[in-house]
Structure 1
């Protein structure tokens, strides 16, 4: 490995660390800021936080088209990183809830380009130069986990407004790092019409998407409501950060060693197990356990998210015909991290106002177990397909 090649890999790792450090120290504590400092209701918080995922789904293909048209992916990446960090500071200047909604949409529009563009640039680099993309992206998980604890401690000692300055500073430093990334031409648009026509012939795909909506939507919505749950149980802002550190920090080890489990038990079995862990976790939180038990159970996120992500993604890739795999993966991401996230974040906020945070987590648990039922159905269809294929042979 040349000195330049080694420097580029370190630069990629630093880029991912900084961008996820910014995200990790900001978004998990943003709902706490809205409730404690601004005085928003649960419904207002849910609406505000649910807007981003929908906007990101709509604007992400547009950034891909811009990268493809201009052939300046690196410049687009740097622009969106700088603008995302800068727009985050805008919340400190606003008092009107309507303008906060506008700002949330703008921030999400720029943020939507960061991860797909940087992932594409990194993937092109490792395919050309060799190496493991996962070793570069792993620093993102480390940055996210560390930021939740660091910014939680700072917010407790200083003020919750510190999260906005930490967010902006991290992303501005990230943009400087991005100047040294290799120049690559990337695009991440997809043929939606052709892909849907092919995927509609696969009932298992539609059912798996529905299960992903029900299982992964609450996982993402938990990032909004975990801080409110923790404070409702008597925890501190610093405690929220520590809880996120334990939860996010547990994902990387399980994700790293998910391969042997998948090979031994199969993709759908691992996905089912991960979904069950999530469901039991949400139901447990709805029973209002002690802070100590919340800390102990946060590591279950590694078993759920750390296993669900690689197993589900691989199942979608294997299920879809090769010519529409990109569309299938994009739809999977849009349904789980986009629409599912938005739906449960929005509904969870209104249930918070109506019946309290424990009812919000009861909703998450019931929805997840419904998703488990759909995964069982998909698994049975898969087993019947294999049996029919064997009988023909």
Structure 2
């Protein structure tokens, strides 16, 4: 059946893309350290990856509006893989590493928002669930965040670049068969983005999402260190990370059904409240039992938030505008929000300590909820404008 085949290619792309990401995130810093980079240099190179998500998705979303995602995603995936391999040619030179990192990050940031838009279009056409396709990305992340450790233990850091590039090349292969929409007609009038951008609720939504994702900066940068300070060993910490992503997978499996039953607004609101609760419990009750329990809230702070956001954005950016809407969401919420959150968490950790850092993250998520309330107010029906 064609729909099953198309869904299989989408699931394969997510799995392979997040395999590469799951191998990259935990070991990028150690690989840079093995290349002789200082802590400051590692911070700059890590921030370069994060902040590339601010500009790049918007540019690629704009180009997809005219060229179609079919002409962009496969090339971007292939250049990303080549960029990873090119990092080995820098031989530890910081300037070369920075230039190559900016290049591969720029193309890597192109793929996921455009594929998300493609998946939502396909899901609506086929009556399928976005979450049940997207969960394969989470499974890929688990597989390689654990598996890459064993690979590096056997082969050393020399396996880092080719190990990731293999999955990126495979993702390129899968991207060639994704169910993209029809190519834009150069002579047809195109819907404008300006009407949507004038809506105040959109900017409340983006600000709320930015704050919610910024609150994760403490978790991604310092959770493992914080857990170690409270008596957990590395094996236990690894299991806690894996448990959190398994809870994320479970929500992606059932989340679309839950959104249909409860509505986007209620799921969104619950995600923000539970995110604040998660960071608050970690701050004030960091014992093992509570930490295990609140790790299950990753299903809310990431999976429920992202799934509700994708549905919300898809409703505000219909048809030909969807790729640009997803790109705007990715750049502001994950690019800018993630980058500012990481920087802010570093500052608060250095000046306020671990407990107050997670307390601040909890307050940040609650503050984001204030803007979310404004964003979820009913909006007037959008009228498509022609150029």
Question: Does structure 2 conserve the Cα–Cα contact (< 8 Å) formed by 1:49 and 1:224?
Answer: no
Indicate the residue corresponding to 1:104 in structure 2. 101
- Distance of aligned partners of 1:280 and 1:33 in 2 relative to their CA distance in 1, 3 Å threshold: farther
The match for 1:57 is: 54
Point out where structure 2 has 5 or more consecutive residues left out of the alignment.
Answer: 381-387
2:384 alignment partner in structure 1: none
Q: CA RMSD in A?
A: 4.2
Aligned length: 375
1:84 matches 2:80: yes
Q: Deviations over 1:135-155 (max 9, x none)?
A: 443322221222222224444
The equivalent of 1:331 in structure 2 is: 328
Q: What TM-score do you get using the length of structure 2 for normalisation?
A: 0.76
Offset, 1:254: 1.6
Query: CA distance change for structure 1 residues 355 and 31 in 2, over 3 Å: closer, same or farther?
Result: farther
CA–CA distance in 2 between the matches of 1:17 and 1:165? 18
CA distance in 1 between partners of 2:259 and 2:121 (Å): 26
Q: 1:310 aligns with which of 307, 312, 332?
A: 307
The alignment partner of 1:143 has SS state of helix
- What secondary structure sits across from 2:286 in the alignment? coil
Equivalent residue for 1:16, pick from 14, 17, 39: 14
1:390 paired residue number: none
| 2:358 alignment counterpart | 361
What is the CA deviation profile of residues 221-274 of structure 1, one whole-angstrom value per residue up to 9, with x for unaligned ones?
743444554555566666554333222221122233234544554433322221
2:148 alignment partner, one of 142, 148, 151: 151
**Residue equivalent to 1:244:** 241
1:160-175 matches, within 5 Å, as 162-175=159-172
Secondary structure at 1:95 match in 2: coil
1:332-353: CA deviations, max 9, x gaps?
3332112111211222234444
Residue matched to 1:116: 113
| Counterpart residue number, 1:27 | 25
User: Structure 1 stretch 135-144 or stretch 61-70: which is displaced more?
Assistant: 61-70
Alpha carbons 2:278, 2:362 under 8 Å: kept: yes
For residue 337 of structure 2, give the secondary structure of its aligned residue in structure 1: helix
Q: 1:199 to 1:322 in 2, by over 3 A?
A: farther
- How has the CA–CA distance of structure 1 residues 320 and 80 changed in structure 2, closer, same or farther, with 3 Å as cutoff? closer
The answer to whether the Cα contact below 8 Å between 2:35 and 2:92 also exists between their aligned partners in 1 is no
Q: Give the match's secondary structure for 2:168.
A: helix
Hey, what's the Cα distance between the residues in 2 that align with 1:10 and 1:184?
Answer: 17
Q: In 2, distance between residues paired with 1:229 and 1:31?
A: 18
Paired residues of 1:251 and 1:302 also in contact (CA < 8 A): yes
Whole-angstrom distance in 1 between the partners of 2:258 and 2:126 = 29
Q: Does 1:255 align with 2:252?
A: yes
Query: Is contact 1:211–1:372 with CA below 8 Å preserved after alignment?
Result: yes
- What is the deviation of 1:312? 3.2
> With structure 1 as the length reference, what TM-score do the two structures score?
0.75
Would the alpha carbon gap of residues 229 and 195 (structure 1) be closer, same or farther in structure 2, given more than 3 Å must change? farther
Say if 1:272 and 1:64 are closer, same or farther in 2 by CA, change over 3 A.
Answer: closer
Residue matched to 2:274: 277
Matched residue of 2:201: which SS?
Answer: helix
CA drift of 1:214 comes to 0.8
Q: In 2 relative to 1, CA 349–181 (structure 1 residues): closer, same or farther, beyond 3 Å?
A: same
Q: Which moved further from structure 2: 234-243 or 317-326? A: 317-326
Matched residue of 1:250: which SS? helix
**Contact 1:230 1:240 (C-alpha < 8 Å) held by counterparts:** yes
